[in-house]
Amino acid sequence: MSTKVVNSIRITTEQLADVLEACINSGVNVYVEGTAGIGKTEIANQVCQKLDIKPYKHRLADAEPSDLRGMPVVSGEDADGNPTMKFSRPDDIPPKSGKCVWILDELNRANRSVMNSVMQATDDTKRVGSHSLSRDLVVIACGNPSTDNNYDVGELDLALNNRFLHVTVESSVDSLVTYAASKAWDKSVIGFMKLTRSNLFTTSTTNSGAVCTPRSLERLSKIVPVTGNMSKENALALFQGCIGAELGMAFYSFRYELRPVEFSELMTKDGKARLDSHCSETGYRADLLGLTLDSIIESLKDKKTLTTTDVGAVQYFLRTVQAEQSAASIATLAAKCKHVLLHPTIAQDVLLRDRLQRVK
């Protein structure tokens, strides 16, 4: 059955952190819908860490009402000597006071009794069962898309829907690339994401195997370094097992056949040969040259003192690529790495001088 989503707005993963921070600061509960592995829960955790707020977490797909409301225990006797019962307070639900966040993952997979407990926690009573919750509690609930047949999700009724601000999150390659670089993902995976872009997060409703998501790409990044000594056939099987048959094959081709030249390779024999190939009339690849330029910028943007090898690699790149690409590369370097262009060896290069003057 499909989830009834009320007033949902579409945002990117890059925007989600700001939205969640605004909801936490204003005390507004929020329901985040997005495909599996897109980073909904991870981003919620990062926002809580930034705000120095402890997140309480429950995965509701396999939760029972007692996980939230507690188990009944004998608490004493009534006037007639009959045992009385109360529900013990689970130690992993939010406290009675203080600013706190409750991250409820897979809400639209929960059973109806669990959903009713969530409804109670998000109304004005701020309770779950017999247990009081902090008046400053904010609930961040997450779920998978209701309109995608790949997901077996349940239904939130209008009353529960109406307790949340709703956002639908879509994958952003740019934000994922930034995240991947900060976590030191394998460089070939980052390059592949940049190159593939618009075709990266496509899934088929008939695909019951691996699909490409931020989570599966992170898994691919962990797999790649251990494939160095295995056969290419076995490496291909692992790549396809991470991100699906079609994209797995595309990544295989990218890594072994279309691999861009990294900055550290520019002055090596193999690196120069591959750069020459990417610049040739028959094998010209502006996209791969763009990835090489990205590698140069990433390696030198914070480096104040350039070595002879650094300067030689940049100079070799700018002199090797075609004139139009060289001019575009110089413009990009001027915007992001201008100190590299100001180095005397590059600034005084006769071949590059005219192009340098255009962007100074």
When pLDDT is cut at 50, 70 and 90, the band that residue 4 belongs to is: very low
Instruction: Give yes or no: residues 19 and 73 share one domain.
Output: yes
- Say how many domains are in the chain: 3
Tell me whether residue 187 is in a domain: yes
Task: Say if residue 43's pLDDT is above 60.
Answer: yes
Q: What is the mean pLDDT of residues 34-52?
A: 91
- 44-77 b/e (C-beta count within 10 Å ≥ 16 → b): bbbbbeeeeeebbebebbebebbbbbbeeeeeee
Tell me whether residue 331 is in a domain: yes
Instruction: Give yes or no: residues 162 and 64 share one domain.
Output: yes
Instruction: Give yes or no: residues 245 and 346 share one domain.
Output: no
Instruction: Give yes or no: residues 185 and 141 share one domain.
Output: no
Are 94 and 134 contacting, i.e. CB atoms less than 8 angstroms apart? yes
User: Is pLDDT larger for residue 197 or for residue 313?
Assistant: 313
Instruction: Give yes or no: residues 151 and 269 share one domain.
Output: no
Are 213 and 39 contacting, i.e. CB atoms less than 8 angstroms apart? no
Are 107 and 31 contacting, i.e. CB atoms less than 8 angstroms apart? yes
Residue with structure tokens 């961040």? 140
From the list 231, 347, 356, 341, the residue with the least C-alpha distance to 296 is 341
Tell me whether residue 3 is in a domain: no
Q: What is the mean pLDDT of residues 121-135?
A: 91
pLDDT tens by residue, 55-81: 999 999 999 999 999 998 888 888 888
Instruction: Give yes or no: residues 178 and 201 share one domain.
Output: yes
Domain coverage including residue 241: 174-256
Tell me whether residue 1 is in a domain: no
Instruction: Give yes or no: residues 211 and 116 share one domain.
Output: no
DSSP-based three-state secondary structure for 75:
strand
Instruction: Give yes or no: residues 47 and 23 share one domain.
Output: yes
Q: Which H or E run includes 127?
A: strand 127-128
pTM for this prediction = 0.69
